[in-house]
Amino acid sequence: MLLKHACVIGGGMAGLLHARVLADYAEQVTIIDRDQMPEQPEPRPGVPQGTHIHYLMVRGLQLLDEWFPGLRDEIERDSGAPRVQIGLQTRYMLYQTWQPSVDTGMHTYVLERPHLEDMVRRHLLTRENVKLLDRTEAVDLVFGGDNVSGVVTRKRPSGGEAVTLPADLVIDASGRGSKTMSWLEKAGYALPQTHTIDAKLGYATRWYAKPESANTDWRILYVLTSPPAQTRGGAILEHRGARWLSTVVGTNGDYPPTDEAGFLEFARSLPDPVIYESLKDAQPLTDIVSFRNTSNRWHAFEKLDRLPGRLYITGDAVCEVNPVYGQGMTKAALNASVLQQQLAAGLLDNRVFFRAIAKVNDNFWQAAAGGDLNYPGTTNNQPETPIERVMRAYLSAVLRGSVRDQRVTYAFNRVLNMVDPSTTLMMPGMLLRVLRAQGTR
Ligand SMILES: Cc1cc2nc3c(=O)[nH]c(=O)nc-3n(C[C@H](O)[C@H](O)[C@H](O)COP(=O)(O)OP(=O)(O)OC[C@H]3O[C@@H](n4cnc5c(N)ncnc54)[C@H](O)[C@@H]3O)c2cc1C
């Protein structure tokens, strides 16, 4: 085995998927998480986004399928999660126009985030060399020479004695609240620059019973925000048990209200009242919950000259993108896929890892952070390069084209789901179609 003991901080999606990859190359893998893992799929404090909509991109689903044989069957057969034919059972409105219906040849499943995490965790923990220590918080790293050689942990909520877990590889997958930067600083390392782009977008989300009378031809309905003018959007996703999870979002600090009347009124203000019409007589099942911490943040570890070896940082802990674009779990999976390729080649160099995931993360960043820059109120702490500006303008043109030309709709959906590379959208034929579509309605 390449490694004796690998320790993963954080048992969210990024942590679980990196642990899965490590399980093939380490004698023992230990995941630590400060939360108590629930017996049943339910939201937990360490993943507050668990109550909100989580779209699983097709590429993410494909990777789960490769890593966890039987998981797709479980989702399809036993989980009750609705299967969605993308393009046929999804309805997306952009720039006040519905995308045409197109058979994209792809499907995914609608799953609550806690449900998906629960299935992945159960499949992972069937592996004998993977252990999960819950209610265990990482409170520091152990530095030995030029390497990180372990994690200092403390039990929660009791605290008690600090316990050190020696490890020959440490992966930080502790998400947005990662403490690695402060641990590195304390140990005398220079910190990476952090690029932040913030559209000040807020969510308000509620569960409903799907009315028996609802005769819908969609399983995902999404009225997207369309910059610069239309700063509001909303969605309904059909879930197992004939339930709808509905969200409304507002950018530029136009946060949706969390009282019943305000929530519905916000839905009514969208360019098409379909979400309001669907919900107004539906039975609410929960309170309305909000989420506002949605900025895009990238810690540029790939640009640092000096880093301790054997420390990898991944998932949202290194790069988080505005969640409204539905990318984070697939981004985490693709980061784990990079690790897999490097371990398969016997490579244990974190700087090569950071450079490789930077390339992967850039695809997500261009779509999310780039998209957010189209709103006039968005803040950006770094200047945009001319190339980024051109790419952003072209991506907006693709979005407009995707509601006017079926071939663009097809290509856009496949790139959006990370099944086809983004270069598909740059091919001369596609470029022409996108440009032609700008003048038509
Ligand atoms: C509102 C919202 C909606 C979203 N919608 C989507 C979507 O539609 N599709 C999609 O793909 N993604 C979506 N995302 C993003 C997605 O949730 C994450 O990007 C993805 O799950 C990867 O997160 P992660 O594992 O890196 O971090 P997290 O999910 O934040 O997990 C971090 C884990 O680390 C643990 N932890 C933290 N600190 C410590 C510590 N010191 N010691 C031990 N454990 C610790 C936490 O308890 C937690 O379990 C959404 C996010 C938000 C906020």
User: Residues 224-273: pLDDT tens digits?
Assistant: 999 998 999 999 999 999 999 999 999 999 999 999 999 999 999 999 99
Question: In the chain, where are the structural domains located?
Answer: 3-54+113-195+294-369, 200-291, 382-437
- Closest Cα to atom 41, ligand 1: which residue? 138
* Contacts of the segment 414-419: beta carbons below 8 A, 24+ positions apart: 414/104, 414/106, 416/57, 416/367, 417/57, 417/58, 417/59, 417/86, 417/106, 417/108, 418/57, 418/58, 418/59, 418/60, 418/330, 418/334, 418/363, 419/58, 419/59, 419/62, 419/106
pLDDT tops 90 at residue 157: no
Confidence band, pLDDT 50/70/90 cuts, at residue 439: confident
pLDDT of 420 > 70? The answer is: yes
Render pLDDT for 96-115 as a digit per residue (tens, 0 to 9): 999 999 999 999 999 999 99
Q: Pocket of ligand 1, candidates 7, 8, 13: which has the most ligand atoms within 8 Å of its Cβ, to mutate?
A: 13
Fold type of domain 3-54+113-195+294-369:
FAD/NAD(P)-binding domain (3.50.50)
H/E element, 408: helix 406-416
Task: Return the pLDDT at 158.
Answer: 81
Q: Atom 30 (ligand 1): residue with closest C-alpha?
A: 175
Distance CA 147, CA 138 (A): 17
Pocket residues: Cβ below 6 A from ligand 1: 9-15, 32-35, 46-47, 49, 52-55, 137-138, 173-177, 179, 203, 291, 315-317, 323, 326-330, 332
Q: Which bin fits 188, alpha (ψ -120 to 50), beta or left (φ > 0)?
A: left
User: Confidence band (pLDDT; 50, 70, 90) for 145?
Assistant: confident
Mean pLDDT of all residues belonging to the chain: 96
Q: Is pLDDT larger for residue 441 or for residue 164?
A: 164
pTM recorded for the entire structure = 0.97
